[in-house]
Structure 1
Amino acid sequence: MAHAPSPALPGVRVERELSPRAVLTGAVLGILLTPSNVYAGLKIGWSFNMSIIALLVGFALWQGLARGASTRPAWTLHESNINQTVASAAASIVSGGLVAPIPAYTLLTGHQLDPLPMMAWVFSVSFLGIWIAWYLRPALLNDHGLKFPEGMATLETLQQIYNQGREAVARIKVLCSAALLSALVKWVDVFAWAIPRWAPTPALERLTFTLDPSLMLIGFGGIIGIRVGLTLLFGAALAWGGLAPWLIGHGWVVLAPNASGPQFAALVEWLLWPGVSLMVCATLTSLLVRLWQVPGRPARQATHARLRLTPWPAAGLLLAIALVVTLQVLLFGIDGWMALLSIPLAVCLAVVAARVVGATGIAPIGAIGKLSQLSFGLIAPGQVAINLMSANTAGGAAGQSTDLMNDFKVGLAIGATPHKQLAAQCIGILIGSVVGVLVYLMLIPDPKALLLTQQWPAPAVATWKAVAQTLTQGLGALAPELRWAIAAGSAAGVLLGALDSLLPQRAARWLPSTAALGLAFILPASISTMMGLGALVTWLASCRWPGLAERFAITAAAGLIAGESIMGVGASFWAMLRAL
């Protein structure tokens, strides 16, 4: 049955929405795109929003099929929206803990979850976030001070491809070409002959300054922008080119005699402490300042009148709470009352995250995780499971809540049906939980041997692990020089986080990116260098050919990321089959 015309595209009516082909297309794209985010999250600690890729691929596929068969119904605007909701929900499953608290828990306790319990856990925290978003929807979407920039970018792409179909076809050609090139380079490096990692001198090679032949890193550089890219270059020079040789010279880091090749593992054990401290303090400071600046009423007042527990949504919320609490008790041995305590904290922090995303477009999931770790560190000091997995509840719920709020913003503009979007999101996280866990276990069969290495730096894992260690063992367990490094990193983080949020945008853009600066202390210099190079090349191209760069730069970058990451996952799968 048709509904009202869409306010975004006048004259468009909702004829087909949650159709089997829309769900199936989103599911297939989610299966293909989820490995990219798992791979990238373990490699560099960042993930990519897959909404726009799903929109472009789905449109190109079904419009092409419709031209080939005149009797086939057109791929509607609202089917496109359901397709991208399912695919982006699946790909965003990494916020459920796969690339941060779950591996950190294994590293600290030696306990690796089996596949089915891990799938259930990742699904449960994401499922909780979906129902929190459902109850936040009326209040936050009616707050005109919250623009939801990421949702608006998806809406703008949706409008463009339905108003200018040829533009979508052009972009999909660029996306596929970049993906094929990136996959080919990765295939040559893995299966044909290893592309050499060149370094200017053996001394710089030991400090991880090598040229990494990764087009995925170039692609990420094209997305992050020139400010973040230059900060990564500066941070790599500061941490690995300046501080690392000083640590070796003073004997605070001891390398093996006649050590050759990159000495990442030995150096990162020291460098991660100032880097993590800087990131945590900067993000928490920025979060508090941004929340204070968010327009409109406080979250508690804005949502109070609208949180009516109508029957079927209330049943969904209660089921999500029961799942999360039960799994904390059964899988991690957490006391029931402590597991219950994680629920109100998750709800409060998801509200905070949703309002910050609505105002700025920046998802403060890392800050939410650290804030929950600090909270449980005070409530239950010395307990690793509670510190990591109860905090994982808040981070995972906040991640899915913000993802769905962006989709709700798009749906409001095009006249979509909210409960059908919610159903699509549930389907997406179910697919993402299964695929994401299988890919994670395929890539990292032995976390203790593989993570925090040159191949898998896993900076998010290092951050969660370091915070948990500090809160459970106390600062007194660390060497005095590390305590000074933490103090210096924390002070720099508070200062930069406050300046970034308080200064006018024109002045703040000249500050280094605090997230990138802290990350450069944890990533090998080779990764930071390649990402910085990608950002620089993209910026130069945008200066020389602004029109082409605006149309195709992000699309080409997304293709480079998807091609290499999917080929990398395939290579790991092939290696696993050969070992059987």
Structure 2
Amino acid sequence: MDQISSPHVRPVEREFSPRAVITGIVLGILLTPSNVYAGLKIGWSFNMSIIALLVGYGIWQGLAKRSTGRLPWTLHESNINQTVASAAASIISGGLVAPIPAYTLLTGQQLDAVPMVAWVFSVSFLGIWIAWYLRPSLLNDKALKFPEGMATLETLLHIYNHGHEAATRLKVLLGAALLSGVTKWVDTFWWAIPRWSPSVPLERLTFTADPSLLLVGFGGIIGIRVGLTLLLGALLAWGGLAPWLLDNGLVQLPPGSSGPQFAVLVEWLLWPGVSLMVCATLASLAIRLWALHTSTKASGGATWVIPKAGPAVGFLLAIVLVVSLQALLFGINPWMALLTIPLAICLAAVAARVVGATGIPPIGAIGQLSQLSFGIVAPGQVPINLMSANTAGGSAGQCTDLMNDFKVGRAIGATPRKQLMAQTLGIFIGSIVGVLAYLALIPDPQTMLLTEEWPAPAVATWKAVAQTLTHGLDSLSASIRWAIFIGGVAGLLLGILDSVLPAHRARYLPSTAALGLAFVLPASVSLMMALGAVLTWLVSCRWPSLTERFAITAAAGLIAGESITGVGASLWEMVGNL
């Protein structure tokens, strides 16, 4: 165990107990499909640590109070529970909602369930071992605060110091989940809630009212700046550019078409949106890394602590898995596959430092940076461009997730080795459940993805970058090339301004991620998320303490309720078609 002095350290009574592990597994099974569903719908996912903490504490402390002989649910058991559950839910960083579907769309090849599980697990497993070897150095760097890990720590300590508050939040969480789940069930099985639109032309441009409480919940989490940016982006892309494209014949609608024409219009609109997002995130990442380098140099350099060599067997096993699966599943040359390992290590370390400093995981930027790197090394090869880059993105995702957990564990005196075991178990469960959920939701990626039902913006981004690097800009129309150039310049400027301006001024800039995303999502999705952000902001203005206590919890319930019901509905339909 790390030897530290902290007011949060408590004696380790029970930690990696069977009930802590089993609770984390059960919650991981329930929560992983939520992130797969949300990732395919809107391209964003939700950190499930707080939900796991509240539910685990509510169940076991409730049982302990009702039975005098039952042991209390310890702080360290809560930590293991949330580590397993959040690791499982974060499995989508392994490629399930981005490079894997993009690979299918570009090559027509769909992996079977078992190979897909093996691949997602292998890239995530590599990220865990990278985090293990980075842990001593990054946690000893006082400049890295790991804000997301500290938020989980504050919630963990809060529910143990204020048990009644935890019970109240759990009721809010379950109530919101029930409301959202029932609404989705009614819309799916009983009575299709009408998608109202003020006029036929606006409906054609996807301006409809989507009765999705999941979108409202995400709006409550993202905040007013991101919500209003989504609204601005929807008006710019779908209210401004889309009509102009139709009027000038740059996009042709099928004869006799009616209703929202998302699939046709997004084939053009995704290019400026993706260009804006990629250039903004890469510019912002470069500036943040330079700032980290400068601050580290000024403080005398980072303290590098070499861990023991014992766990090297696990690290080598992860490397063998990733390299061999690239060769077996995607036909990538083993030497080229081996080249992905040092790149994955470097980029995962970059992502971990950025998350430690800002709390924002730059997984999208890491993925696109990897694609650009392999586009130079192996031009014109789609499998290498997507799946080798998937190695870096998947490793970075699990590395940052585990580093946040290590930050929590260090503060409470947890055992790092047991956290590593919990994370490994979590990604194993998450790989199986996540793949099954993906295959249940999207049995036919070629016809289902990049549609109004499943916009899959992350898939669109990876697919567009791979297409551009494989076929070159000359394969695109002149209007799209101009759109890419303008979007890229705008993203570059916004990314630089967002990184160099003081925080009190930068908050008035539009969010570049949200602005680009609005070009890839139907306007109806952006409108509902903006509605959630505005409603939450208005409530916070009137009742700030109430919002601080319950807004995130209620939003998490809305997200979990609809997504779990949506996955269940897809499974029901799949069984009915057998």
Please, what TM-score do these two structures have when normalized by structure 1?
0.98
Match among 389, 392, 414 for residue 390 of structure 2: 392
In structure 2, how many angstroms separate the alpha carbons of the residues matched to 1:58 and 1:574? Answer: 28
Deviation of 1:296 after TM superposition, in Å, equals: 4.3
Match among 179, 182, 185 for residue 184 of structure 1: 182
Match of 1:406 in 2: 404
Match among 454, 459, 462 for residue 464 of structure 1: 462
Match of 1:37 in 2: 35
Match of 1:422 in 2: 420
**SS of aligned partner of 1:312:** coil
In structure 2, how many angstroms separate the alpha carbons of the residues matched to 1:557 and 1:363? Answer: 21
Deviation of 1:293 after TM superposition, in Å, equals: 1.2
Match among 529, 532, 551 for residue 527 of structure 2: 529
Residues 1:156 and 2:187 are matched in the alignment: no
- The 1:260/1:126 distance shift into structure 2, 3 A limit, reads same
Task: Please list, as runs of the form range in 1=range in 2, the aligned pairs for 1:490-529 lying within 5 A after superposition.
Answer: 490-529=488-527
Match of 2:305 in 1: 306
In structure 1, how many angstroms separate the alpha carbons of the residues matched to 2:417 and 2:451? Answer: 44
**SS of aligned partner of 2:143:** coil
Q: Which whole-Å deviations, capped at 9, do the CAs of 1:110-141 have from their partners, x for residues lacking one?
A: 00001000000000000000000000000000
Match of 2:287 in 1: 289
Q: Which whole-Å deviations, capped at 9, do the CAs of 1:217-237 have from their partners, x for residues lacking one?
A: 000000000000000000000
Deviation of 1:297 after TM superposition, in Å, equals: 2.8
Residues 1:84 and 2:82 are matched in the alignment: yes
In structure 2, how many angstroms separate the alpha carbons of the residues matched to 1:137 and 1:168? Answer: 30
Match of 1:71 in 2: 69
Instruction: Check the 8 A contact 1:3/1:13 in 2, yes or no.
Output: no
Match among 169, 176, 201 for residue 203 of structure 1: 201
Deviation of 1:54 after TM superposition, in Å, equals: 0.3
In structure 2, how many angstroms separate the alpha carbons of the residues matched to 1:439 and 1:198? Answer: 30
Deviation of 1:493 after TM superposition, in Å, equals: 0.5
Match of 2:319 in 1: 321
- The 1:46/1:333 distance shift into structure 2, 3 A limit, reads same
The amino acid of 1:386's aligned partner reads I
Match of 1:9 in 2: 8
Deviation of 1:7 after TM superposition, in Å, equals: 2.5
Match of 1:332 in 2: 330
- The 1:155/1:246 distance shift into structure 2, 3 A limit, reads same
Q: Which whole-Å deviations, capped at 9, do the CAs of 1:35-94 have from their partners, x for residues lacking one?
A: 000000000000000001100000000000101111111100000000000000000000
Residues 1:170 and 2:168 are matched in the alignment: yes
Match of 2:18 in 1: 20
RMSD of aligned alpha carbons: 1.5
Identify which range, 463-472 or 252-261, moves more after superposition. 252-261
Instruction: Check the 8 A contact 1:97/1:392 in 2, yes or no.
Output: yes
- The 1:6/1:556 distance shift into structure 2, 3 A limit, reads farther
Instruction: Check the 8 A contact 1:278/1:491 in 2, yes or no.
Output: yes
Q: Which whole-Å deviations, capped at 9, do the CAs of 1:349-388 have from their partners, x for residues lacking one?
A: 0010000000000000000000000000000000000000
In structure 1, how many angstroms separate the alpha carbons of the residues matched to 2:333 and 2:289? Answer: 32
In structure 1, how many angstroms separate the alpha carbons of the residues matched to 2:380 and 2:24? Answer: 43
Instruction: Check the 8 A contact 1:5/1:14 in 2, yes or no.
Output: no
- The 1:140/1:186 distance shift into structure 2, 3 A limit, reads same
Deviation of 1:257 after TM superposition, in Å, equals: 2.8
Match of 1:371 in 2: 369
In structure 1, how many angstroms separate the alpha carbons of the residues matched to 2:302 and 2:391? Answer: 21
Instruction: Check the 8 A contact 2:57/2:78 in 1, yes or no.
Output: yes
Q: Paired residues, what number?
A: 576
Match of 1:571 in 2: 569
Unaligned runs of 5+ in 2: none
Instruction: Check the 8 A contact 1:30/1:88 in 2, yes or no.
Output: yes
In structure 2, how many angstroms separate the alpha carbons of the residues matched to 1:89 and 1:541? Answer: 32
In structure 2, how many angstroms separate the alpha carbons of the residues matched to 1:442 and 1:386? Answer: 27
**SS of aligned partner of 2:310:** helix
Instruction: Check the 8 A contact 2:140/2:303 in 1, yes or no.
Output: no
Residues 1:137 and 2:135 are matched in the alignment: yes
In structure 1, how many angstroms separate the alpha carbons of the residues matched to 2:263 and 2:414? Answer: 50
The amino acid of 2:376's aligned partner reads L
The amino acid of 1:545's aligned partner reads W
The amino acid of 2:330's aligned partner reads F
Deviation of 1:266 after TM superposition, in Å, equals: 0.5
Deviation of 1:304 after TM superposition, in Å, equals: 8.3
Deviation of 1:258 after TM superposition, in Å, equals: 3.5
Instruction: Check the 8 A contact 1:104/1:462 in 2, yes or no.
Output: yes
Deviation of 1:260 after TM superposition, in Å, equals: 1.1
The percent identity for this pair of structures is 74
In structure 1, how many angstroms separate the alpha carbons of the residues matched to 2:2 and 2:327? Answer: 45
Match among 465, 474, 477 for residue 475 of structure 2: 477
Task: Please list, as runs of the form range in 1=range in 2, the aligned pairs for 1:553-572 lying within 5 A after superposition.
Answer: 553-572=551-570
Match of 1:127 in 2: 125
In structure 2, how many angstroms separate the alpha carbons of the residues matched to 1:154 and 1:527? Answer: 29
Instruction: Check the 8 A contact 1:4/1:13 in 2, yes or no.
Output: no
Instruction: Check the 8 A contact 1:126/1:399 in 2, yes or no.
Output: yes
**SS of aligned partner of 2:195:** coil
Instruction: Check the 8 A contact 2:25/2:426 in 1, yes or no.
Output: yes
Match among 262, 266, 272 for residue 270 of structure 2: 272
Residues 1:223 and 2:221 are matched in the alignment: yes
In structure 2, how many angstroms separate the alpha carbons of the residues matched to 1:572 and 1:363? Answer: 30
Deviation of 1:512 after TM superposition, in Å, equals: 0.1
In structure 2, how many angstroms separate the alpha carbons of the residues matched to 1:519 and 1:512? Answer: 12
Deviation of 1:422 after TM superposition, in Å, equals: 0.4
Instruction: Check the 8 A contact 1:3/1:15 in 2, yes or no.
Output: no
Q: Which whole-Å deviations, capped at 9, do the CAs of 1:147-169 have from their partners, x for residues lacking one?
A: 00000000000110000000000
- The 1:481/1:423 distance shift into structure 2, 3 A limit, reads same
The amino acid of 1:262's aligned partner reads P
Please, what TM-score do these two structures have when normalized by structure 2?
0.98
The amino acid of 1:211's aligned partner reads A
- The 1:80/1:298 distance shift into structure 2, 3 A limit, reads farther
- The 1:6/1:50 distance shift into structure 2, 3 A limit, reads farther
Match among 451, 455, 466 for residue 449 of structure 2: 451
Unaligned runs of 5+ in 1: none
In structure 2, how many angstroms separate the alpha carbons of the residues matched to 1:380 and 1:257? Answer: 41
**SS of aligned partner of 1:254:** coil
Match of 2:437 in 1: 439
In structure 2, how many angstroms separate the alpha carbons of the residues matched to 1:302 and 1:421? Answer: 28
The amino acid of 2:139's aligned partner reads L
The amino acid of 2:314's aligned partner reads G
Residues 1:50 and 2:48 are matched in the alignment: yes
Instruction: Check the 8 A contact 1:143/1:296 in 2, yes or no.
Output: no
Match among 356, 359, 362 for residue 358 of structure 1: 356
In structure 2, how many angstroms separate the alpha carbons of the residues matched to 1:314 and 1:297? Answer: 28
- The 1:178/1:6 distance shift into structure 2, 3 A limit, reads farther
Match of 2:58 in 1: 60
In structure 1, how many angstroms separate the alpha carbons of the residues matched to 2:469 and 2:12? Answer: 52
